[in-house]
Chains A and B, each alone.
Chain A
Amino acid sequence: MSDCLWVGTRKGLFGIARDNRGRWRIAGTWFPGDPVSMLLPQRGGRRIHAALDLGHFGVKMQRSDDGGKTWRETPAPVFPPRPDGLEDKDPMRGIDIPWSSKLIWALEPGGAGDDSGELWCGVIPGGLFHSRDGGDSWTLVRSLWDHPLRKKWMGGGYDFAGIHSIMVDPRDARHVTIAVSTGGVWTTKDNGGSWALIGKGLRNAYMPPDMAGDPLPQDAHRVVHCPAKPDRLWMQHHNGIFRSDDGGEHWQELHDVPPSSFGFAVAVHPTEADTAWFVPATKDERRFPVDARLVVTRTRDGGKHFDVLSKGLPDEPAYDLIYRHGLAIAADGERLAFGSTTGSLWVSEDQGDSWQNVSKHLPPIACVRFEA
């Protein structure tokens, strides 16, 4: 059972620990003032990767091998030289796509678990990087970056497209599936040698109607797979909630999800593939909880029914938005946590039936992860 939670915020990294009375409290802070866009605990919490967005001075990677006592800067993923004369523009905005990491948006272990040293990293503006040495060096996955359809990826909430979800198949680590905002779902079966665009059944409402079912311009906000049944994927999409039973090849849209099927975050139970959680919001121009009432939704039957969970969540109007990496589940499948743009953080120890507020006063929260 994980008693430690890591929280990346607009103003630093926070470690949240459970005390022996069951209270979750801030136990440590690091990088005060610096935005932490992504983090990855490994090796039982001894190793922690933290991705910083230093604004003026670019994105940086930091790594601790002693549970956060000491940190050292490790190389950030860097794009290779952009060929002279190359035209590479965001199709929606018509502006040059920088061959430069703007935001580290996804970080996942590859290979055979924590000790393989393999890592995958997704960034804005749409690069996928691979490391075989625990992040001491990174290589841009050219097969994806040079794919002709990559140039049709579009910025969504950010100026440029980004890779925010990376799923490594526990049965075969060479099978990796990623999701792009905005650029659909892509999969490789040969460890990144070649890529296929998948995603039949997805639907968008922001492109011309004839393109609604085109798998390419699908704005997946977040995609997760069930580790024990990795063919089951759950997607929080810009236009709804979708489920796949074949590794993302085909998707079914879930209709009439209360109180809204708009949102960013999704979490799936590690062994029960039919159980998933969402934090809904009012679509899409408003982006705060429906009627300013913050709730979590949970399905236990693959999306046929949803429980609306609010015990321990605010009674008063709440304008908390949960970003795509702001909801996490622990390996035991019992504990969940989520953090908001308003700087509030909640933990549940009973699959979301009730929630404990950890803080209402943190900086805006980008990502939450339990210690592995």
Chain B
Amino acid sequence: MTTLRFTPNLHRLVDTPSARVAGATVAQVLACYFLANPRVRGYVLDDQGAVRKHVAVFVNQELIRDRIGLSDPVGENDDIFVAQALSGG
């Protein structure tokens, strides 16, 4: 199970409880999370399912490489952190 956490900047807008989620890629982990938290999807991903331009997704403190397909692999004890990028807005 991967640990998924979100920037506190999202908390005032939508409930984003941290969770332990199954999945082999970032896409799978997020898809699983969105099943239980469907409103969060539109805050993190754009209409086409890519990471929003001004959102950053880290796996173990490294930015993911595939912001469109979210195919970066994740392992059993990895951490995913969804951050507000220091840009735009």
Contacts and interface: CB of A to CB of B under 8 A. Distances in A.
A159 B61 CA distance: 33
Contacts of B17: none
Contacts, number: 46
B54 interface: yes
B48 A76 contact: no
A81 interface: yes
A56 B89 contact: yes
Interface string B24-52: 00000000000000010011101111001
A60 B47 CA distance: 12
A41 B69 CA distance: 39
Contacts of B52: 56-58
Interface size class of A (residues with CB under 8 A): 10 to 19
A98 B48 CA distance: 9
A78 B42 contact: yes
Interface size class of B (residues with CB under 8 A): 10 to 19
A292 to B, nearest CB: 31
A234 to B, nearest CB: 33
A56 B88 contact: yes
Contact of B48 (A54, A73, A81): A81
Contacts of B84: 56-57
A58 B89 contact: no
A99 interface: yes
A82 B48 contact: yes
B10 interface: yes
Contacts of B14: 73
B39 A73 contact: yes
Interface in A64-89: 73, 76, 78-79, 81-82
B55 to A, nearest CB: 6
Interface in A17-74: 54-58, 60, 73
A57 B13 contact: yes
A53 B55 CA distance: 15
Given A78-B47, A99-B47, A100-B48, A55 B42 contact: no
B33 to A, nearest CB: 16
B54 to A, nearest CB: 4
B55 A56 contact: yes
Interface centre among B9, B43, B48, B84, by most A CB within 10 Å?
B48
B85 interface: yes
Contacts of A98: 46-48
Contact of A79 (B13, B43, B48, B54): B48
Contacts of A181: none
Given A58-B46, A60-B42, A82-B48, 11 more contacts: A55-B88, A56-B52, A56-B85, A57-B55, A58-B42, A58-B52, A73-B14, A78-B42, A99-B48, A100-B48, A101-B47
Interface of A: 54-58, 60, 73, 76, 78-79, 81-82, 98-101
